Chain A
Amino acid sequence: MAVPILKQGDVLIASIQSALTDVDLVALRDALVERVASHRTRGVIVDVTSLDVVDSFASRTLRDLAHMIRLRGARTVIVGIQPDVAFAMVQLGLTLEDIPTALDLEEGLAFLAAGRHAR
């Protein structure tokens, strides 16, 4: 299932609509890394509100995605991690390391806007 990627100003927003397979997650990572350049993007938001499970593969892929996008000169924020998913990630010993997170899309956009002013 392909994840729709929307553009709002210089931010790309990937809004995950349903449970994703490993194959879908890798496709999303590659699509975002690709599109960062073609749209002169400064920030990327990945909305994981609808993701049913974040296991070791999903957390690794989200981290890789954010690191690749940073190497491309933009910043990534992961938004919408649900309480049950956060609980499970902690129990399983999974982290997103240094990748910024925000409560929801609005907070994510605010975070990226604040970073732009600080630059």
Chain B
Amino acid sequence: MRGDEKNFRISATITCAEDVVVARQRGRTLARAMGFSPSDATLVAAAISELARNIVRYAERGELLIGKDDDGMLFVVARDQGPGIADVESAMRPGYSTSGGLGMGLPGVKRIADSFEIVSNSTGTTVTMRKRKR
């Protein structure tokens, strides 16, 4: 994992359960450094956990980019070259899961994000979320 919390930028390769934990912990630290409250930093960490887990579960391998954008918002980009999400609309519906999961992962992330976007096709998936400091 590379990154520089001082420059508000983290990039991490995600391939296993340990990577998920490390990424969310670093994301929380970054959120705190950006001035997010402990509660909102925990929320950011949970969102990172969901996105990183989806990489491991559905694509086996992918990349997370966490940072501060020009508007001062925190962004998380989760990118993989996995099989893609067949039905994005369903995947965003609370309770929908193709893996026996809770189906609350992506809907939860969308719910807490100030902006949220999924691009998914047969060559991979990219999820981008942004969260404003309150």
Chain A contacts of B94 at CB under 8 A? Answer: 93
B20 and A91 form a contact (CB under 8 A): no
B39 at the binding interface (Cβ < 8 Å):
yes
Binding-face segment, B42-50, B67-75, B81-89: B42-50
Which B residues are in CB contact (< 8 Å) with A56?
Answer: 50, 101-105, 108
Interface residue? B53 (CB, 8 A):
yes
Q: Is the CB of B112 within 8 A of A91?
A: yes
Q: Is the CB of B24 within 8 A of A53?
A: yes
Question: Are B46 and A92 in contact, with the CB atoms below 8 A?
Answer: yes
Least CB separation from B28: chain A residue: A52
Q: In the complex the two chains form, is A87's CB within 8 Å of B39's CB?
A: yes
Interface of chain B, main secondary structure = helix
Q: What's the interface size class on A, roughly? A: 20 to 34
Chain A residues whose CB sits within 8 angstroms of the CB of B102 once the complex forms: 56-57, 59-60, 94
Interface size class of chain B, counting residues whose CB lies under 8 Å from the partner chain: 20 to 34
Q: What chain B residues lie within 8 Å of A60 (beta carbons)?
A: 101-102, 104
List, in ascending order, chain B residues with CB within 8 A of A9's CB.
none
Q: Which residue of B lies closest to A20 (CB)?
A: B21
- Chain A window 3-44, contacts with chain B (Cβ cutoff 8 Å), 1 for yes, 0 for no: 000000000000000011111100000000000000000000
The distance from the CB of A51 to the nearest CB of chain B, in whole angstroms, is 11
CB distance from A66 to the nearest CB of B (A): 15
Q: Mark B30-61, 1 if CB is under 8 A from A, else 0.
A: 00000000110111011101100100000000
Question: Could you tell me the distance between the alpha carbons of A87 and B17 in the complex, rounded to whole angstroms?
Answer: 24
Given contacts A53-B45, A56-B50, contact A93 B20 (CB under 8 A): no
* A55-B46 in contact (CB<8A): yes
CB distance from A92 to the nearest CB of B (A): 4
Q: Restricting to B87-119, which residues have a CB under 8 Å from any CB of A?
A: 94, 101-105, 107-109, 111-112
CB<8 Å pairs between A and B, sample of 5: A20-B21, A52-B24, A84-B38, A85-B42, A93-B107
Establish whether residues A21 and B17, one from each chain, have CB atoms under 8 Å apart when the complex forms.
yes
